[in-house]
A and B are shown apart, each in its own frame.
Chain A
Amino acid sequence: AQKITQTQPGMFVQEKEAVTLDCTYDTSDQSYGLFWYKQPSSGEMIFLIYQGSYDEQNATEGRYSLNFQKARKSANLVISASQLGDSAMYFCAMRRPSNDYKLSFGAGTTVTVRA
């Protein structure tokens, strides 16, 4: 069975600082994809970044970067230069071809950015 673990239920970060959100996963598949989504208080799910298991380089999207350590099965999200609008719930998710590509989500981490 696959499992996504986010161990940080909530985090506070000062504006303009960087924050790292932890995500570990468990799968025996060789091919899989890892995602991070942002869910603000308005409730929608916003795609942030994607990392494929065979990608050799860590994914980056603007202020978001994914620290992918395959051997450790971790896919931490780094948000640089935090902004007040980054305050939200963040979910790590995984999908596998062997599982019809449906997404499995972690429990989420709430990030609060302080001015």
Chain B
Amino acid sequence: NAGVMQNPRHLVRRRGQEARLRCSPMKGHSHVYWYRQLPEEGLKFMVYLQKENIIDESGMPKERFSAEFPKEGPSILRIQQVVRGDSAAYFCASSSRTSGDNEQFFGPGTRLTVL
């Protein structure tokens, strides 16, 4: 039973390019959370999605960032016109439901470097 998959593991982009980060949740999980970890900091919530719905995007920057979780396929975090400040580790976590003590399982993260 594969865990949460993220790809690519490392991504290098030049300023102004687009970055697409993918997250395949664990089998049977329909809840996906994206977090960003800036260097030397803890993880910060970005967005919470269920299949075909954005539930909470209060942690997303207002511009250039978007996320989706289609009915089929992985969840995508898209960053347009990247800037150096976007350099960070982006983690995806999934869970099967939000109630109770259900654990969120983390993927290995995507490390984005903007040159």
* A contacts, CB < 8 Å to B: 4, 33, 35, 37, 43-47, 50, 52, 91, 93, 95, 97, 100-108
Contacts and interface: CB of A to CB of B under 8 A. Distances in A.
Contacts of B56: 100, 102
* Top 6 closest pairs, chain A to chain B, by CB: A105-B42, A45-B106, A101-B98, A105-B43, A102-B45, A44-B108
B65 interface: no
Interface in B57-92: 59, 89, 91
Interface residues of B, number: 26
Nearest to A105: B42
B14 interface: no
Contacts of B45: 102-104
B42 A97 contact: no
Interface in B21-54: 33, 35, 41-45, 48
B1 interface: no
Interface in B86-115: 89, 91, 93, 95, 98-99, 101-106, 108-109, 111
B27 to A, nearest CB: 18
A100 B98 contact: yes
B55 interface: yes
